Amino acid sequence: MNVVSTKVTPTLQGGDLLSLLDYDANQIRHILDVAANLKAKQKQGKPMKLLEGKTLGMIFSKPSTRTRISFQTSMYQLGGNAIFLKEDDMQLSRGESVADTAKVLSGYLDGIMIRTYSQKMIEELAEHATIPVINGLTDMYHPCQALADLLTIEEQKGKLAGNKIAYIGDGNNVTHSLLIAAATMGMDVAIATPPGCEPDAAVLHQVKKITAKSGTGITVCHDPDVAVQDADVIYTDVWASMGEEDKDINIFSRFQVNRGLMQKAKPDAIFMHCLPAHRELEVTADVIDSKQSVVFQQAENRLHAQKAVLVLLLGDQPQELLYS
């Protein structure tokens, strides 16, 4: 990866990560470069205790495997501490305001990561907190997942700009953040969803502004075969997100990623899924277990991308230390 010069490196310290719409290409590039360096150091057995004495509060309204473990492990590997806070066990569930909670936690912690439903709630939390707030997932966005996705694609393809991603399935929070991240970093995106399951119109409007500047393309259609043509990456997610268990998944029958669909993309196309996967629904076992699948590398990269976010938002190290 190309390391950003420390002379022009953007400063993210003390900021929030609520949506990648708030980040430009140089800032995302910086996060990816730091993530790659932290990953390399870990593989070499060289600890990077960059957050010693720092504590991250982790608020969860939704169940989690990857988000909780990856953030908790991130803080441990960086020399800091993480506290698990289930929203049902907090005073939030008993009527304490978001604003009051933000102010109280700001006196105890160095940062907050929250995995919840409402994007409005996390924005209110950030407005009243005096410490960084990180979006671990909302119904609207999943920015940490998108950063891990970019890191994985670059590791596999050697670059980001010029690649095409085909997203097949439901236009959900993962889709939104993937769209924003890919467009910002110079990638083309084609999305195929059933009618009525398209990405949020306001998000698409913002992404089209990005593509107008970056020169990339975005296509939204209802035909998976069209979307995957010339694709370097095929990506899917569950058809019914948490809180949507009553959704009629029969409308997605044409949107399964199977061997036949993979063969309509480029021969060296990779398959991605943010997990957990429902095998034989949105993806067949012969695809997710194939050599083209990078889902477990993608899952591991949540750890490395989030370590970079934590270091850059919560840390106070000289920039050159992040690349040493």
Catalytic residue ranges = 115, 142, 145, 237, 274, 302
The Cα 80–Cα 49 span in angstroms is: 8
C-beta atoms surrounding 127 within 10 Å: 12
195: left (phi over 0), alpha (psi -120 to 50) or beta: beta
164-168: strand order across its sheet: 218-221, 188-192, 164-168, 233-236, 270-273
The answer to whether 250 touches 209, Cβ cutoff 8 Å, is: no
The answer to whether 294 touches 235, Cβ cutoff 8 Å, is: no
Tallying the residues shown for the chain, one arrives at 324
Single-letter residue type at 161 = A
Would you state the structure tokens that stand for residue 298, as one six-digit string? 């993608």
CA 125 to centroid of chain Cα atoms? 20
Residue 55: φ, ψ to 5°: -130, 130
Single-letter residue type at 183 = A
Q: How far is CA 25 from CA 11, 22, 188, in A?
A: 13, 10, 15
The Cα 69–Cα 65 span in angstroms is: 6
Cis status of the peptide bond prior to 224, with omega within 30 of 0: no
The Cα 289–Cα 300 span in angstroms is: 16
Question: How buried is 130 (Cβ within 10 angstroms: 0-12 exposed, 13-18 middle, 19+ buried)?
Answer: exposed
